[in-house]
Copies of this chain bind each other. A is one copy, B any other.
Amino acid sequence: MEGVRRRDREGTRQRILDAARGLFAELGYDQVTMRLIAAEAGANIALINRYFGSKRELFAEVLAMQGRFPGVLDGPVAELPRRLAEYVADRLRSDLASPVMATLSRSSASPEIHDIIRDRVNSAIMGPLAALLPGEEAQLRAALATALITGSGTLRQLFGPEALGPSSREAVVARLTRIFEACLEG
């Protein structure tokens, strides 16, 4: 029957995955404990490893689940700097979750997941960006744009939404657009 199942393998698995996604984005890999994930998901701690194998594998699955930059990398390349600027500005100034960016920039110090992070940065940001860019030095240009994105995440984490001072959203977007243009232009 499809009635309310008190024992719900898939449901529990999904709750764990959701809890882990939010916590990893908010706190970073190291600061998130198995017990915290279990409590947030309303599940027993032993189920995490039963369903995912280990904390590391759960982290990998959380990252694999996340979409790429939604809507940022799509669209005309000429407007790419502006879309990147708006994305970063909004993530810097508000508390809106940007799971991918937040997770990556808050977990990059943990050596046990270095390879996972590296692969994800490559496949979600740097790789697609380099593929989009015409002209020479595409890898260099994509890498520097990526550095700015992740650096913004670190700054946000350190200083909060006021990291950029009292500037208006328009001023921030305008400035960031020019910087991304300098990063990406051929």
Point out residues on A near B: beta carbons under 8 Å: 28, 30-31, 105-111, 114, 117-118, 121, 137, 139-141, 143-144, 146-152, 154-155, 157-159, 163-167, 171-172, 175-176, 178-179, 181-183
Contact = CB atoms under 8 A, between A and B. Distances in A.
A139 B175 CA distance: 12
A155 to B, nearest CB: 5
A159 B150 CA distance: 13
B151 A137 contact: no
Contact of A158 (B108, B163, B175): B108
Contacts of A163: 143
Contact of A144 (B141, B150, B158, B179): B179
B147 A154 contact: yes
A32 to B, nearest CB: 11
B140 A164 contact: yes
Contact of A154 (B141, B154, B158): B154
